[in-house]
């Protein structure tokens, strides 16, 4: 079968400055309506999944005055969406650093049951200091140690998901026996970071296992992704870096003995207009409404302090930390954004709204062309799409870009399967024997 393009939607409803774009209605009820609407629209466009990012904190203090409060908690949000949609995958972010593996395993398998096999887990290691402050305040763990913790957390989750096999439930009414005790696998995990006895009392879920997503960029992060992830998220600003990244992940996955490399789905922000000129006008609206102080607040998270700097002067590169152990990937990315084309500070801050991804501003054809270029050129197996936040952009994509992708034979006309795993073309792992 030929390769298939995959499309995911970044679902976080009120990221960045989008609460103040013209036409946006705020408040919890309106935001819930817009999330449901977005999920239904993505499903109408036969997208693989909606994805919710999460950082377990409200951001650095300097961002508080400028930030919407309606970025709902991912697991509960997708539980609601599972009742509003039928085929769309539901991918949540769960932190291997701060969320206990037992909780994660239980919530994810529950979600897989509730949704009829549409759950996915974005495994993150949580880099934010403000998140560490919400979980005991011992500070952010060293970068590579976070990945060792994540590997062990994942091992525990996988063991817990294996607790029940296909023939563990016997439901013998006469004998009063529901489960064959000889077929319950008790993890009994006793490792460096976690002690979890188990088992997890949950029947095998429709996908057998929720799909594993991950977004490592550093050496340790890429190694983790290449070994464990089934889909790799990434933010790569241009095609060449995108292809280099995808090839490195595929190569490392092969070296790790995987017959099938993970799918690579970079982020792609888009601003859509019926013509390129209309898209540029939308872009100007975004520029006029984004909040530079909000972006400055977030940059403090990665040790870049631009407080009080002149917004219309060149970027004061001296304010960038050289390289810190915890934020090396982010810092390198911001340095590229700050130096390419010598932007003013305000222009640089606008770029950071879509920091780690590719971006296209244009007509439906222009957006379809960019998707096709990355897909055919081996830089992407699909994309996480980030609509600009101006109302109507996702609908525009589904009504005008998706048909072009279909006509070009790049994208499906109907869902091929019932589960997220099937729609992504990923095999279900076998149960362990014994
Ligand atoms: C598309 C995308 C989505 C991400 N979502 C989250 C998220 O929801 N929560 C989080 O803590 N980190 C998130 N990250 C950050 C990554 O998990 C990772 O920390 C980052 O890419 C840096 O890589 P490294 O950990 O290998 O240094 C995301 C990254 C990308 C590219």
* Cα-to-centroid distance, 214 and ligand 1 (Å): 8
Q: Is 233 in the pocket of ligand 1 (CB under 6 A)?
A: yes
**pLDDT value at position 236?**
87
Q: Rounded to whole angstroms, how far apart are CA atoms 247 and 261? A: 10
Protein residue whose Cα sits closest to atom 14 of ligand 1: 215
* Cα-to-centroid distance, 140 and ligand 1 (Å): 15
Q: Is 235 in the pocket of ligand 1 (CB under 6 A)?
A: yes
Residue 240 corresponds to which tokens in the numbers above? 């060449």
Give the residue, out of 104, 140, 215, with the most ligand 1 atoms within 8 A of its beta carbon, to mutate for a pocket test: 215
Give the residue, out of 15, 53, 214, with the most ligand 1 atoms within 8 A of its beta carbon, to mutate for a pocket test: 53
Protein residue whose Cα sits closest to atom 8 of ligand 1: 53
Question: Which CATH number does 6-290+361-423 carry?
Answer: 3.20.20.30
**pLDDT value at position 301?**
81
Q: Helix 101-114 crosses helix 74-82 at what angle (to 10 degrees)?
A: 20
**pLDDT value at position 326?**
62
Nearest atom in ligand 1 to the alpha carbon of residue 329 is 27
Distances (CA, A) of 92 to 73, 161, 210, 277, 373: 9, 17, 10, 36, 28
**pLDDT value at position 334?**
87
Protein residue whose Cα sits closest to atom 28 of ligand 1: 215
* Cα-to-centroid distance, 330 and ligand 1 (Å): 9
Protein residue whose Cα sits closest to atom 20 of ligand 1: 216
- Peptide linkage before 430 cis (omega within 30 of 0): no
**pLDDT value at position 318?**
85
* Cα-to-centroid distance, 117 and ligand 1 (Å): 24
Distances (CA, A) of 340 to 337, 343, 347, 395: 6, 7, 11, 32
Q: Rounded to whole angstroms, how far apart are CA atoms 368 and 319? A: 38
* Cα-to-centroid distance, 124 and ligand 1 (Å): 6
**pLDDT value at position 130?**
85
Protein residue whose Cα sits closest to atom 18 of ligand 1: 216
CATH 3.20.20.30-classified regions of the chain: 6-290+361-423
Instruction: List per-residue pLDDT tens for the chain, 434 residues long.
Output: 478 999 999 999 777 888 999 999 999 999 999 999 999 999 999 999 999 999 999 988 888 999 998 889 999 999 999 999 999 999 999 999 999 999 999 999 999 999 999 999 999 998 888 899 999 877 778 888 999 999 999 999 999 999 999 999 999 999 999 999 999 999 999 999 999 999 999 999 999 999 999 998 889 999 999 999 999 999 888 899 999 999 999 999 999 999 999 999 999 999 999 999 999 999 999 999 999 999 998 888 888 999 999 999 999 988 887 766 666 777 888 888 898 889 999 999 998 886 568 999 999 999 999 999 999 999 999 999 999 889 999 999 999 999 999 999 999 999 999 999 999 999 998 888 86
Cα-only R_g, the chain: 22
Q: Is 218 in the pocket of ligand 1 (CB under 6 A)?
A: yes
- CB 186: neighbour CB atoms within 10 A? 13
Q: Is 125 in the pocket of ligand 1 (CB under 6 A)?
A: yes
**pLDDT value at position 1?**
46
* Cα-to-centroid distance, 346 and ligand 1 (Å): 24
């Amino acid at each position: 079968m030929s390769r298939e393009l995959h499309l995911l939607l970044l679902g976080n409803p009120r990221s960045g400055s989008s609460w103040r774009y013209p036409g946006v209605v705020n408040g919890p009820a309106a935001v819930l309506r817009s999330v449901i609407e977005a999920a239904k629209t993505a499903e109408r466009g036969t997208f693989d999944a909606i994805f919710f990012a999460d950082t377990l904190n409200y951001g650095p203090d300097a961002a508080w005055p400028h930030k919407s409060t309606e970025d709902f908690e991912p697991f509960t949000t997708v539980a609601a969406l599972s009742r509003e949609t039928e085929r769309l995958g539901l991918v949540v972010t769960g932190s291997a650093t701060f969320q206990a593996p037992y909780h994660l395993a239980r919530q994810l398998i529950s979600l897989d049951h509730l949704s009829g096999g549409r759950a996915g887990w974005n495994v993150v290691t949580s880099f934010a200091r403000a998140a560490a402050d919400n979980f005991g305040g011992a500070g952010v763990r060293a970068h590579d140690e976070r990945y060792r913790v994540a590997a062990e957390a994942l091992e525990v989750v996988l063991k817990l998901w294996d607790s029940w096999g296909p023939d563990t439930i016997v439901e013998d009414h006469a004998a009063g026996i529901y489960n064959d005790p000889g077929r319950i696998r008790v993890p009994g995990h006793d490792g460096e970071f976690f002690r979890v006895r188990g088992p997890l009392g949950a029947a095998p879920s429709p996908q057998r296992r929720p799909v594993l997503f991950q977004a490592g960029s550093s050496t340790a992060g890429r190694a983790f992704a290449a070994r464990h992830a089934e889909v790799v998220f990434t933010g790569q600003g241009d095609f060449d870096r995108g292809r280099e990244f995808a090839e490195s992940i595929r190569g490392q996955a092969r070296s790790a003995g995987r017959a099938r490399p993970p799918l690579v789905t970079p982020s792609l922000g888009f601003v859509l207009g019926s013509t390129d000129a209309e898209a540029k006008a939308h872009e100007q609206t975004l520029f006029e409404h984004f909040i530079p102080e909000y972006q400055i607040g977030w940059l403090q998270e990665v040790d870049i302090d631009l407080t009080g700097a002149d917004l219309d002067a060149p970027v004061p590169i001296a304010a960038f930390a050289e390289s810190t152990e915890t934020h090396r990937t982010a810092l390198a990315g911001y340095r590229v954004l700050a130096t390419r084309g010598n932007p003013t500070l305000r222009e640089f801050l606008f770029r950071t709204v879509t920091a780690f991804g590719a971006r296209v501003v244009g007509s439906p054809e222009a957006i379809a062309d960019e998707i096709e270029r990355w897909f055919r050129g081996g830089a992407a197996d699909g994309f996480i799409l980030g609509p600009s936040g101006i109302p109507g952009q996702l609908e525009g994509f589904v009504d005008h870009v998706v048909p072009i992708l279909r006509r070009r034979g790049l994208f499906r006309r109907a869902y091929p399967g019932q589960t997220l795993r099937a729609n992504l073309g990923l095999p279900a792992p076998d149960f362990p024997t014994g």
